[in-house]
A and B are shown apart, each in its own frame.
Chain A
Amino acid sequence: MNLKFIDEYRDASLAKEYVNAISRAATRSWNIMEICGGQTHSIVKYGIDELLKNQVNLIHGPGCPVCVTPVSVIDSAIDLALNKNVILCSFGDMLRVPGTSTDLLKSKAEGADVRVVYSPLDAVKVAQDNREREVVFLAVGFETTAPANAMAAMNAAQLGLTNFSLLVSQVLVPPAIDAILSSPENRVQGFLAPGHVCTVMGMAGYEPLVTKYRVPIVVTGFEPLDILQGLLMCVLQLESGNFALENQYTRSVRAEGNLHAQKLLGEVFEVFHKNWRGIGTIPESGLRLARKYEKFDAEKKFNLRDETSLENPQCMSGLILQGVRKPSQCPSFGVSCNPENPMGAPMVSSEGACSAYYRYRRSVES
């Protein structure tokens, strides 16, 4: 698979020019949150926060799909996987996420039929090939994964499959930004909004937030130069006292988004009050299968109700996901919590802030 335009967005001399421009523009240090875990990963990997430590305090946001999936969903997935009649299909990075007492990878070692797929449509194919067994796809993620999950439900309906269902934990970005900004602990003064989510959903969902909270939001990409340009746009607004919705990621994001994908979401899903791992319930922040598709809802099909799920009390992932603490401020970080034995989901996912800090930041200074 040949991807073009990678090097162009990792150019060291252009990066330096952006750092200089931000340094010239900033008269003080601004608190800016990047929403998406992919952006967090780039920032920590390329050391953008280090380059700008006097101009921008980068606060890592909740945009890590693995991290915000409730423990009860992981526990349900594990219970389903241990059922001999069930094949549980999942994206790879859900497998190490800790549930209350175990994870999917360990359950697989105990005999659970857990299969890593790269697309929900592959799970539909598994269901077609295994008609005598129930196939459940663990459908987690933000607005980016939702269209493919919707497509899987639609496909299954068209094929008349009765052995396929989705264990859904889909979340939405704008309500999460609203929750962060309305919190009394909020320190965030500007946002880098997630470029890929906006590629699907467009920019309209962010306009009311800009107006309500008088905060600049810049829709931003994921490469180092994207992030640096997004930060410069945000700092320039903050310095001039402006607050507007801007688009840095013009090569991917159109204001209206992907209308076809949005139509698909409207057809298959409905919005509801959703629980986020480590954060709690946020109004109208989740998607669940609409009535027309409820026969593909694993929660209803298997009557899943998990009241006993527990977070590790030493894990402060909630505070980290809300940007109140940084991973390095957690007493367990790198001591009792590491990627081999993660206490919370942000240490597992490649998009989790704790994992990014563990991988790239540990002991460079020491």
Chain B
Amino acid sequence: MTEFLNCPIPFHTGFSAQEKIVMAHGGGGRTMQKLIQELFAKEFTNEFLSNEHDSAQLPMPSGRIAFTTDSYVVNPLFFPGGDIGRLAVFGTVNDLAMSGARPQYLSAGFILEEGFSIESLIKVVRSMKIAADLSGVKIVTGDTKVVEKGKGDGVYINTAGVGVIEHSLKIEPSSVCVGDRVLISGDLGRHGIAIMAARSGLQFETTIRSDCAPLSPMVLALVEAGVQIHCLRDLTRGGLVSALNEISQKARVEIKIRESAVSVLAEVRGTCEMLGLDVLSVANEGRLVAFVPESDVERALQVMKRFEVGEQSCEIGAVESGGRSRVLIEGLIGVTRVLDMPSGEQLPRIC
């Protein structure tokens, strides 16, 4: 993945390095115009954005479209392996990909805190632009609001996305059936641990980087290869445990996985052990779980492994039976237990 965070930011004409966001940047006047023209319009430039109208006018494809929205409030804004801008694009792109859609257009709404550094905002916006290019989407409309100092966390971003569904599959939890195999696209827990390590107050040395990446190219390749995908879910908040429980509840099936099949980086595992966190419940931003029929497992894994984000794809379990919703895990020493939904926020333990 391109390293874009570490390159120095050449300064935009019209903004000084020390400049901060002021209330006027959301006030509708000249100051706001300058921010839009000199930063957002310049970076995100494309034929739909440049009409500078209240709404973007987009060609409507025939067939189905996928539509989704998500808000991003991560702290810290910049972390190893990514930043809020990159998350805001990949997160929404990945939600579209979970329908097997080809992501096309994004909106971007910014809530800026008074006093936020414009230099940081430029970094975030550039990061979004690069992420959008990597995912093949255009940012076609947007909005900026400014809140008083102390009422925000620097910047919050909302993105909504539209994607085109070019296949006839029904990729959703209700398509999951007994006998389906459960695949994951790689090792787990990197994003959650990278964020936790970067948060102030938690001082342990780690080289863990967020796995934040677009999943759409891999998913589109699966669709093109003719894999009969029954369901996909990206393993964000709540990790694998939440994703499997949600699918099991919606599809009313019992899913059983093997703990020994799930791979976790040694460093991620060590940190989870230290803090008493269950790595299966830790967030990822570039991993998915896929439900496919047994006959398609080999082909699916072959396709997934062609992509950097899917290099370590593997089968971890199967849908065992229907009629009741529950997720089971065969533990490392062979005893099966319930894998329950995590409760609330995971809190590190005492000792």
Listed in ascending order, the chain A residues whose CB lies under 8 Å from chain B are 1-3, 6, 10-12, 15-16, 38, 45-48, 50-51, 65-66, 91-96, 115-118, 122, 140-142, 144-145, 196, 224, 338-340, 349-351, 358-364
Chain B positions within 8 Å of A51 at CB level:
333, 335
CB atoms of A118 and B337 under 8 A apart: no
Contact among B269, B340, B347, B348 for A358, CB-based, below 8 A:
B340
CB atoms of A359 and B340 under 8 A apart: yes
Q: In the complex, how many angstroms separate the beta carbon of B240 from the nearest chain A beta carbon?
A: 15
Q: In the complex, how many angstroms separate the beta carbon of B119 from the nearest chain A beta carbon?
A: 25
Chain A positions within 8 Å of B271 at CB level:
1
B206, B335, B336, B337 interface centre (most CB from chain A within 10 Å): B335
Instruction: Provide the bound-state CA to CA distance between A55 and B211, in Å.
Output: 45
Which range contains the number of B residues in contact with the other chain?
20 to 34
CB atoms of A1 and B328 under 8 A apart: no
Nearest B-chain residue to A3, judged by Cβ: B270
Q: In the complex, how many angstroms separate the beta carbon of B21 from the nearest chain A beta carbon?
A: 25
Please judge, given known A-B contacts A1-B205, A144-B351, A363-B338, whether A224 and B276 are in contact too, CB under 8 Å. Answer: no
Chain B positions within 8 Å of A142 at CB level:
351
Q: Determine whether B267 belongs to the interface, using a CB cutoff of 8 Å to chain A.
A: yes
Q: Determine whether B201 belongs to the interface, using a CB cutoff of 8 Å to chain A.
A: yes
Please judge, given known A-B contacts A2-B267, A3-B270, whether A224 and B333 are in contact too, CB under 8 Å. Answer: yes
Chain A positions within 8 Å of B205 at CB level:
1
Listed in ascending order, the chain B residues whose CB lies under 8 Å from chain A are 201-206, 260, 266-267, 269-271, 273-276, 326, 328, 331-338, 340, 343-344, 347-351
Please judge, given known A-B contacts A1-B274, A12-B332, A363-B338, whether A93 and B347 are in contact too, CB under 8 Å. Answer: yes
A66, A339, A340 interface centre (most CB from chain B within 10 Å): A339
CB atoms of B270 and A1 under 8 A apart: yes
Chain A positions within 8 Å of B204 at CB level:
1
Nearest B-chain residue to A142, judged by Cβ: B351
Instruction: Provide the bound-state CA to CA distance between A65 and B270, in Å.
Output: 22
B276, B340, B349 interface centre (most CB from chain A within 10 Å): B349
CB atoms of B348 and A46 under 8 A apart: no
Instruction: Provide the bound-state CA to CA distance between A363 and B341, in Å.
Output: 14
Instruction: Provide the bound-state CA to CA distance between A363 and B248, in Å.
Output: 15
Chain B positions within 8 Å of A48 at CB level:
333, 335
Contact among A3, A6, A362 for B340, CB-based, below 8 A:
A362
A to B CB contacts below 8 Å, 16 in the list? A2-B266, A3-B266, A3-B270, A6-B269, A6-B270, A50-B335, A91-B349, A91-B350, A92-B348, A93-B276, A96-B344, A340-B343, A351-B349, A351-B350, A359-B338, A364-B338
Chain B positions within 8 Å of A340 at CB level:
343-344
Contact among A6, A91, A339 for B273, CB-based, below 8 A:
A6
Nearest B-chain residue to A89, judged by Cβ: B201
Contact among B332, B336, B347, B351 for A10, CB-based, below 8 A:
B332
Instruction: Provide the bound-state CA to CA distance between A297 and B260, in Å.
Output: 47
Instruction: Provide the bound-state CA to CA distance between A144 and B270, in Å.
Output: 19
Instruction: Provide the bound-state CA to CA distance between A85 and B282, in Å.
Output: 35
Chain A positions within 8 Å of B338 at CB level:
359-364
Instruction: Using A46-B333, A47-B336 as known contacts, list a sample of 14 further A-B pairs with CB atoms less than 8 Å apart, ordered by residue number in A.
Output: A1-B271, A2-B267, A6-B270, A6-B273, A51-B335, A93-B349, A96-B344, A96-B347, A196-B351, A358-B340, A359-B338, A360-B337, A360-B338, A364-B336
Chain A positions within 8 Å of B349 at CB level:
91-93, 349-351
Nearest A-chain residue to B335, judged by Cβ: A47
Chain B positions within 8 Å of A351 at CB level:
349-350
Nearest B-chain residue to A41, judged by Cβ: B276
CB atoms of A15 and B337 under 8 A apart: no
CB atoms of B201 and A118 under 8 A apart: yes
Instruction: Provide the bound-state CA to CA distance between A45 and B348, in Å.
Output: 18
Contact among B275, B347, B351 for A141, CB-based, below 8 A:
B351
CB atoms of A94 and B350 under 8 A apart: yes
Instruction: Provide the bound-state CA to CA distance between A362 and B336, in Å.
Output: 12
CB atoms of B348 and A91 under 8 A apart: yes
